[in-house]
Amino acid sequence: MEHFHASALIITVLLSINPALQGSGIAVIVGTRNEDLQALAADPSAARSWVDSNVVPYASGLKILCISAGNEVIPGDLAQYVPGAMQNLAAALEAANLDGIRISTVVPMSVLGPSFPPSNGVFSPETTPVMKQIVSILASKNSPLLLNVYPYFPRAGEPEHVSLDYALLQGTAAPVPDGPLTYHNLFDAMVDTVYAALEKIGGEHIEIVVSETGWPTEGGADASIGNAQIYVNNLIGLVSSGQGTPRRPNTNVDTYIFALFNEDLKPEGIERHWGLYYPDLTEVYHANLYWSEDARSYPDEDIRWLSQIGDRDELDLLETLGLDAREAE
C-alpha cells in the first residue's frame, strides 16, 4: 500500500502564510499566541473573532489539521486559561462549520512529575488539574495531545545516566526494562511516559502527536552536525516503521521535525542550531525524508516538517528546496 502525505508545518500566526500555500496541499497546525489565551478563554466572542480572522479565510484552500491553544504554557501562569480557550475555540470552529478541524495544545515534557521507568509516568501535582480538563476536551473532540519531545535535553542534563546511544536512538544502548516492556531508545521512553500519565487521568484513548523533536548542531554538549544527522535519520526509520512504541505497539506516532531552518535571530547557543538548512538555503546535513518506489519521491506519512514562521517568510523557500507537496490520500 502506498502512503503519500503532504509536507506539514506548524505555524504560530496564520496571517504570515504566503498566499502560495492556498491550494498547495501543504497541511498546517495553527497555534494561537500564548498572550492571547486569557482573552480567548474569557470571551467566546474573542474566540469567534480569532477563528474568523485566522482560520475562515484560509480553510477552503488550505488543509488545517488542528488548532493549538498556545505553546508550552503548562506548567505556568497561563496554564489556567488553556481549557477555556480550547472550549471556546472549538465552539467557534463549530459555529463556522469547521468542526472537522481538531483542537489541542502543545505541552512539554515538564508537565510530568518524577516518572521512571515509563510505566510510572504521572503528571505533576501542579499540572494534573489542568491536564484532567484538557484530556476531557481532547476525548470529546477526538483530538490528539501535542507533545514536544527532545531526547537531547535529558542527555545534556544527566549524561551520567543517559547514554548518547540511547538518546540518539542507535539501538545499541543497554535496554531499559520496565515490567514486561523493554526500551531501546529514549524517544519511545519519553512518549510512553506521557501515555502512562494520560492513562492515569482517564486519557487511555488519547493519541499523542509529537509536535516538535530534533537535535541541535551547535551550542552545547553533544550538539554536532554528526549527532543531529544520526538522531533525525534514526527517528525517521523508527517512526516510518509503523511499529509504534512498546506501550502502544503498531500505533503510528505522527512526528514533526524541528526545524526546517536554523534561526539566526535567536539568542546565542543551541536555540539557533536546530535546522536542516542554513538561512542561505545550504544544507546543514542530509535527512532521509523521502522514499521512492519509482523516480518520484514523497514525504513519509508520519514524518513532517516543522518551521516556526516569524518575520522572515520562509515559505517562499519551499519551492527552491524542492519540497513538492502533494495532497494527502
- Active site residue ranges: 72, 212
- Give the type of residue at 138: L
- Distances in Å between the Cα of 26 and the Cα atoms of 32, 143, 151, 189, 326 are 19, 20, 28, 30, 7
Say whether 115 sits in a helix, a strand or coil: coil
Question: Residue 143, CB half-sphere, CA atoms under 13 Å: how many?
Answer: 27
What kind and span of H or E run contains 233? helix 225-240
In sign, the C-alpha dihedral spanning 190, 305, 297, 228 is negative
Copy the grid coordinates of residue 221: 554538549
E-state strands within the chain: 8-11, 27-31, 63-71, 102-107, 145-148, 176-178, 181-183, 208-213, 255-258, 290-291, 298-299, 303-306
